[in-house]
């Protein structure tokens, strides 16, 4: 194990992590820079940070060569010292793992190194060392993405293993006793910040936020600054001035016992980093003592509190947001100490050590990963129907090692990372990404959009050539065009997942003919979401006939809302003219011109349809529905919205390709009213698992609403029957069908496949 320094003689998260991991692996030998007085015999400490660089590197290389003679594998933690052992001499032939703790060259630049030559040399050495490794370990999904996007490390080689925390050392204790030992008022509000005192840690912004908050805090409230670094004197000077005087204590470096007292004494810890945060070990240390942390949305910090409380994450550098969250913390709006300790117990070092040992064993024995490498492509990162469908099924593809490429930043990216899915952004030119369907014809798109599309296809083909996936799975109509062209150029089998009806009520006639030809000739396999979609594709082309694989849903556990005589009717979905929100309001007004029935509209415009969204409240006013219709906008948690309805209405005026929200309503146990055409008509058995009305017919929809409003028992019966009819739509069932298609496209083991041609 090739480290940098030995904690605590050498301070820093990397050194502490290295020592904690090393102590979980008694079979390991290690090399670090000295001093290391309390290191075990299996650690060889050489030279020191003060030794001249070339002499230091030479001594380190010799020590690594000696220690590595009997080693089966190398585990490196810092590029500068790992470069020679990994790239030169006999050890370069051993399997190697590289722990990526952060972008060394960029961090040195951010720390004030103004030499472009030195930064460039560091970056070159860093990239060369990274690319030599057989596997990489990162602490967070954020650093996984950094390795894949910036360093072009294959995603299949990157393993996310969150760090551990010494749960037997960092433990909860009596807050009053810790405060007494530190001389802190028992009734004060206390925050602690444990950081190296350098600019990128964001301490200056924390002091600004604390200063703006002091007047609102109880007497004796204090911010504890723990750590050392070049900013210590400057921060101490600021702490001695108004409005901070008496409210900030710069404590410097502490031994573990005093540090634990600081954590226990605090109501909250704060980690306000501005850049380059791989995970945040201090978040786990504080949590193990029962103290939650407010963190910035930098690097892996949000992942450190994931599962505890999302409100603990604030925007990096936003002093007002940090001050507001500290203010709510002072009012007691924090997770309990018990819940916080329980969160920390998910990160125990023995489990982390076992995961490393399993990876080492696989590499040492050259055991291949038999999972299929599948790249999923989508041109957007918004939470629309197709994107949600992809998000739901990916965690259930147990035979697949997935990697997602998105054409833009967006909320889907964060959701994929939270689900543990590898993801990168390969940006599409905005003109090409926003190309509207009514311009998809000869002479229609602008030259800029055409050039942007061609440029993206070229970049994507090169990216696929480098990734060498077994299959490319395109997830949208635009990504189907881009991805199929790029995959053909890169020699990669491609699946085109068609989620839209290729018909003239959705696309212009020239676009319909063009898309049908492309779908017929470009992909190796075509997947559609419903029979309603497959009926619009025309004759079959390359490969097997199109295969119907529906979207999936995992029924949630919801509190059943008792049926009442005054029901709430809701509609959920993107706000767009063809989605029929105006038809819903008109039918509701026809069915309930007065009384206590209520209507709810959930959703927002996404693709240039904001004008229609603004018209809906005006329509409700004209229909006499003021006070009985609520427009809730976009909501992240669709299940919470569905739980608030008595009846879900789906009112699309063009045939819906599938109707994912219909499936969600059924999974939530709500009776669903939907049109009698398109995908919803295949999901619902009329009168058995829901109600169908004549599409685009206001009176037919109003009649269905009245019937369910009059019978709470009927609403209960339909909702229960709908929830029981979802076996074929569960994520594991859908995943099995997808994996079968991937296997058909890649029948031979990866090692036995012929090289691909471009």
pLDDT one-digit tens code per residue, 534-592: 999 976 556 678 999 999 998 887 666 665 568 999 999 999 999 999 999 999 999 99
pLDDT one-digit tens code per residue, 73-113: 999 999 999 999 999 988 999 999 999 999 999 988 887 88
**Residue-level pLDDT at 164:** 96
Buried b (16+ CB within 10 A) or exposed e, 71-83: bebbbbbbbbbbb
Task: Classify domain 568-727 by CATH number.
Answer: 3.40.50.2000
Single pTM value for the model = 0.90
Q: Which fold has domain 175-344?
A: Rossmann fold (3.40.50)
Q: Which of 371, 611, 547 is nearest to 470 (CA)?
A: 371
Q: CA 103, 106, 112 angle in degrees (round to 5)? A: 135
> Could you give the angle at which helices 53-67 and 79-87 cross, rounded to 10 degrees?
50
Do the two domains 175-344 and 568-727 of this chain adopt the same fold? yes
Q: Which of 561, 473, 477 is nearest to 524 (CA)?
A: 473
Tokens of 739: 């994996």
**Residue-level pLDDT at 225:** 97
**Residue-level pLDDT at 314:** 97
Pinpoint the alpha helices (H) of 214-336.
232-239, 256-265, 281-288, 301-304, 319-330
Q: Which residue ranges make up each domain of the chain? A: 13-160, 175-344, 372-548, 568-727
Q: Which helix (H) or strand (E) holds 313?
A: strand 313-314
> Could you give the angle at which helices 411-418 and 141-150 cross, rounded to 10 degrees?
120
* Spans of the chain below 70 pLDDT: 433, 435-446, 539-543, 558-565, 749-758
Reply yes or no: is the peptide bond before residue 364 cis, omega within 30 of 0.
no
Q: What is the DSSP string of 276-297?
A: --SS-HHHHHHHHTT--EEEES
**Beta bridge partner(s), residue 496:** 474, 526
Q: Which helix (H) or strand (E) holds 45?
A: strand 43-48
Tokens of 642: 């569905």
Q: Which helix (H) or strand (E) holds 673?
A: strand 672-675
For residues 392 and 499, give the distance between their C-alpha atoms in angstroms, rounded to a whole number.
15
Q: Which of 111, 59, 266, 244 is nearest to 178 (CA)?
A: 266
**The tokens 């569905």 sit on which residue?**
642
Q: Which fold has domain 13-160?
A: Rossmann fold (3.40.50)
Q: Is the C-alpha dihedral spanning 389, 392, 398, 401 positive or negative?
A: positive
Q: Which fold has domain 372-548?
A: Rossmann fold (3.40.50)
**Residue-level pLDDT at 758:** 39
For residues 104 and 137, give the distance between their C-alpha atoms in angstroms, rounded to a whole number.
15
**Residue-level pLDDT at 242:** 93
**Residue-level pLDDT at 373:** 97
Reply yes or no: is the peptide bond before residue 729 cis, omega within 30 of 0.
no
> Could you give the angle at which helices 581-591 and 698-709 cross, rounded to 10 degrees?
60
């Amino acid at each position: 194990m090739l480290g940098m320094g030995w904690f605590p003689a050498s301070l820093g998260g990397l050194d502490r992590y290295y020592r904690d991991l090393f102590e979980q692996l008694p079979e390991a030998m290690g090399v670090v820079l000295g001093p290391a007085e309390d290191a075990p015999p299996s650690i060889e400490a050489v030279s020191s940070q003060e030794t001249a660089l070339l002499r230091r590197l030479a001594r380190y290389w010799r020590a690594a060569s000696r220690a590595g003679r009997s080693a089966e594998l190398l585990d490196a933690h810092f590029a500068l010292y790992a470069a020679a052992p990994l790239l030169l001499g006999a050890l370069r032939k051993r399997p190697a793992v590289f722990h990526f703790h952060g972008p060394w060259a960029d961090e040195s630049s951010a720390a004030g190194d103004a030499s472009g030559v030195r930064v460039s040399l560091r970056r070159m050495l860093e990239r060369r060392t990274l690319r030599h490794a057989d596997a990489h370990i990162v602490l967070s999904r954020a650093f996984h993405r950094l390795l894949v996007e910036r360093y072009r490390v294959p995603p299949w080689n990157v393993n996310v293993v969150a760090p551990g925390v010494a749960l037997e050392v960092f433990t909860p204790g009596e807050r009053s006793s810790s405060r007494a030992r530190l001389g802190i008022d028992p009734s004060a509000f206390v925050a602690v910040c444990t950081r190296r005192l350098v600019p990128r840690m964001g301490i200056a912004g924390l002091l600004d936020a604390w200063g703006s908050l002091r007047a609102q805090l109880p007497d004796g409230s204090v911010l504890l600054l723990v750590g050392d670094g070049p900013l210590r004197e400057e921060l101490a000077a600021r702490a001695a001035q108004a409005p901070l005087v008496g409210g900030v204590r710069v404590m410097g470096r502490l031994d573990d016992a005093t540090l634990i007292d600081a954590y226990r004494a605090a109501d909250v810890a704060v980690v306000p980093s501005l850049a380059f945060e791989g995970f945040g070990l201090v978040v786990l240390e504080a949590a193990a003592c029962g103290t939650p942390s407010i963190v910035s949305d930098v690097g892996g910090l949000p992942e450190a509190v994931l599962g505890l409380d999302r409100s603990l994450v604030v925007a990096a550098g936003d002093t007002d947001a940090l001050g507001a969250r500290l203010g709510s913390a002072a009012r007691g709006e924090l997770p309990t100490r018990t819940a916080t300790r329980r969160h920390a117990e998910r990160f125990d070092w023995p489990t982390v050590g076992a995961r490393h040992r399993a990876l080492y064993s696989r590499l040492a024995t050259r055991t291949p990963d038999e999972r299929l490498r599948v790249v999923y492509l989508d041109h957007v990162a918004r939470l629309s129907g197709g994107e949600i469908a992809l998000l739901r099924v990916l965690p259930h593809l147990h035979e697949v090692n997935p990697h997602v490429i998105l054409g833009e930043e967006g909320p889907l990216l964060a959701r994929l990372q939270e689900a543990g899915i590898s993801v990168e952004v390969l940006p599409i030119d905005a003109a090409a990404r926003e190309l509207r369907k009514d311009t998809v014809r000869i002479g229609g798109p602008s030259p800029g959009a055409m050039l942007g599309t061609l440029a993206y296809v070229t970049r994507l083909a090169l990216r696929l050539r480098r990734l060498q996936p077994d299959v490319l799975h395109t997830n949208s109509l635009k990504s189907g065009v881009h991805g199929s062209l790029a995959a053909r150029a890169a020699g990669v089998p491609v699946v085109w997942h068609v989620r839209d009806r290729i018909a003239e009520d959705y696309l212009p006639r020239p676009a319909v003919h063009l898309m049908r030809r492309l779908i017929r000739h470009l992909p190796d396999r075509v997947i559609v979401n419903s029979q309603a979609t497959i009926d619009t594709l025309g004759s079959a082309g390359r490969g097997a006939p199109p295969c119907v694989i529906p979207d999936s849903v995992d029924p949630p556990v919801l509190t059943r809302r008792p049926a009442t005589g005054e029901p709430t009717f809701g509609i959920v979905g993107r706000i767009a003219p063809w989605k029929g929100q105006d038809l819903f309001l008109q039918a509701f007004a026809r069915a309930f011109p007065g009384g206590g029935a209520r209507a709810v509209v959930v959703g927002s415009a996404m693709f240039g349809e904001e004008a229609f969204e603004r018209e809906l409240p005006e329509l409700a006013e004209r229909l006499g529905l003021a006070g009985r219709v609520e427009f809730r906008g976009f909501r992240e948690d669709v299940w919470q919205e569905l739980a608030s309805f008595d009846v879900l209405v789906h009112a699309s005026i063009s045939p819906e390709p599938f109707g994912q929200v219909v499936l969600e309503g059924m999974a939530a146990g709500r009776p669903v009213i939907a049109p009698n055409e398109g995908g919803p008509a295949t999901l619902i058995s009329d009168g058995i698992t829901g109600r169908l009305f004549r599409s685009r017919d206001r009176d037919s929809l109003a009649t269905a609403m009245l019937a369910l409003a009059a019978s709470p028992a009927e609403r209960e019966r339909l909702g229960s029957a709908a929830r029981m009819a979802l076996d074929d739509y569960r994520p594991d069932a859908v995943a099995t069908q997808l994996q079968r298609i991937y296997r058909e496209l890649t029948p031979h083991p990866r090692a036995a496949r012929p090289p691909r041609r471009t």
